[in-house]
Amino acid sequence: MKSDQMIGLAQPQETHAYVRPVLDRLLGPVKGNWTTESVRASAEAFFAGRETLLVGKGATSHVKLWVFKLLHQVHLGLDLTDDELLAFSTFQASNLILIGVPEGVVSNTVVRAALSIETTLEQRQQYVDTYKAALQKFLPVETAALTPAQLNILASNVLDSLCFAGGQSVQTVITQTLTLLYSARGQAMLATARPNTAAPASTATSDSAAPFFDLRASDVPVFVMETIRRFPPVSVFVYSERSPPTRTFLSLQMAQRDPAAWGDDADRFVMRSLATYHQLSVGWADKAIVDGDNGAPNSRVCPGKQLSFVMICEFLNAFLRASGADAGAPLPEHAWIVDFDPKVKTRVVDWTGYGLSTSFVLRRNAS
């Protein structure tokens, strides 16, 4: 596959070398086009007057739409309308299918027609063209240094960052945190979330009744870190050698649950200290950074690491405030009623060892 046809994460080093500094300029912790305050204001606006919250897989998921809105502002300086956001979310779902199609069958005309591959590719190119123009306006100096072919690849990478790298992982983690809080199994797992809490007689994978978990604003950073450790949204990191050409797939999921690193309770949801996560976590490919420089051509650590952490934390902080948990008070048990949207087909909680995914609606409890 040519580099402009594959997703950015797997691109060759020659391409990565000029894309990476631009990604750092857009997303990075120092130069990035965001601040904690701007993310907080976005989350606050999202919850203002909100009566329902659609969570999960469907294109209409409110969580997804918020993530796409903020990431378009950060990547491109674009403020999408509600209709444009829904169109992007619908496109993202079909674009996501493409990366799951095995290379051996991708040229099969029946498969191509069944999956509407041509339509998705056409839409993809339309987004790339729009993003090229937006990037030229947003970053005139950086883009002037690129050839037209390089600009095309950069815009394609930004699309992948919006669709897959950032767009998929952030909404997945937010969905996981809310699934933990609003499902019986999640609540059972959270019974041992605070360190040194004795494990209940039943295992944490059963649907046993447990007291509602008293999540507080002070827990949010470690609650998010533990969710990313226990249910990593990005499963592998590909390590490439040029000579001899080899590719090694490192399982981040297994590393995040390695008892040799995390201890005997590696399989349980236990909020550890922030220092422990900073030392041991590899969920963002944290160690793949050259001389501590996020924008270095050879750095492969997630360039959106700090941004994604702030987004998820600020979303949950705004959720707590919108639920009446101000000034350090715990999340009230009955602030929201859990419901299912008839338009959202997936109701089953998928409790694989490494992931939990579900779709549901939280409706504000008027009583």
Segment contacting ligand HEM by CB under 6 A, of 79-87, 95-103, 213-221, 233-241: 233-241
Q: Which two tokens stand for residue 215?
A: 């999540």
Q: Which one, of 132, 30, 163, lies nearest residue 21 by Cα?
A: 30
- Near ligand HEM by CB under 6 A, which window of 54-62, 207-215, 227-235, 263-271? 227-235
Q: Which of 308, 317, 323, 358 is in the footprint of ligand HEM by CB under 6 A?
A: 308
Binding-site string for ligand HEM from residue 91 to residue 130, where x marks contact by CB under 6 A and - marks none: ----------------------------------------
Residue of 131, 284, 319, 336 that binds ligand HEM (CB under 6 A): 284
Of 176 and 183, the one with the shorter C-beta distance to ligand HEM is: 176
What is the separation, in whole angstroms, between the first and last Cα of the chain? 57
Q: What is the nearest approach in angstroms of ligand HEM to the Cβ of residue 269?
A: 16
Q: Using CB under 6 A, which of the segments 102-110, 175-183, 212-220, 304-312 binds ligand HEM?
A: 304-312
Q: How far apart are CA 179 and CA 348, in angstroms?
A: 11
Cβ atoms within 10 Å, residue 363: 12
173 binds ligand HEM (CB under 6 A): yes
Q: Cβ(34)–Cβ(45) under 8 Å?
A: no
Binding of ligand HEM at residue 72 (CB under 6 A)? no
Nearest alpha-carbon partner for 88 in 74, 111, 100, 71: 71
CB of 334 to ligand HEM, least distance (A): 29
Which residue in this structure is represented by tokens 């399982």?
251
Residue 166 within binding range of ligand HEM, rule CB under 6 A: yes
Pick out residues in 39-58 that bind ligand HEM (CB under 6 A).
none
Torsion over CA: 292, 270, 219, 56 (sign): positive
| Least Cβ distance, residue 193 to ligand HEM (angstroms) | 19
Q: Does 156 bind ligand HEM (CB under 6 A)?
A: no
Which residue, 197 or 298, has its beta carbon nearer to ligand HEM? 298
Residues 303, 72, 302: CA angle, nearest 5 degrees: 10
Q: Which residue is nearest to ligand HEM (CB)?
A: 304
169 is a contact residue toward ligand HEM (CB under 6 A)? yes
State the angle between helix axes of 166-182 and 62-76 in degrees (0 to 180), rounded to the nearest 10: 150
303 binds ligand HEM (CB under 6 A): yes
Q: How many CB atoms lie within 10 A of CB 14?
A: 9
Please tell me the distance from the alpha carbon of residue 69 to that of residue 92, in angstroms, as a whole number.
13
Q: How many residues does the chain have?
A: 367
- Asked whether position 230 contacts ligand HEM by CB under 6 A, the answer is no
Contact 282, 257 (CB under 8 A): no
Closest to ligand HEM by CB, 76 or 210: 76
The residue behind tokens 């900073």 is 278
Phi, psi (deg, nearest 5) at residue 337: -105, 130
Contact present, 104 and 68 (Cβ < 8 Å):
no
Question: At its nearest, how many Å lie between ligand HEM and the CB of residue 140?
Answer: 21
Q: Of these, 117, 165, 271, 322, which contacts ligand HEM (CB under 6 A)?
A: 165
139 binds ligand HEM (CB under 6 A): no
Give CA–CA dist 63/89, Å, rounded. 11
In the chain, the amino acid numbered 65 is L
Q: Is 21 in the site for ligand HEM (CB under 6 A)?
A: no
User: What residues line the site for ligand HEM (CB under 6 A)?
Assistant: 8-9, 16, 20, 23, 27, 71, 161, 165-166, 169-170, 173, 228, 233-234, 237-238, 252, 283-285, 300, 302-304, 307-308
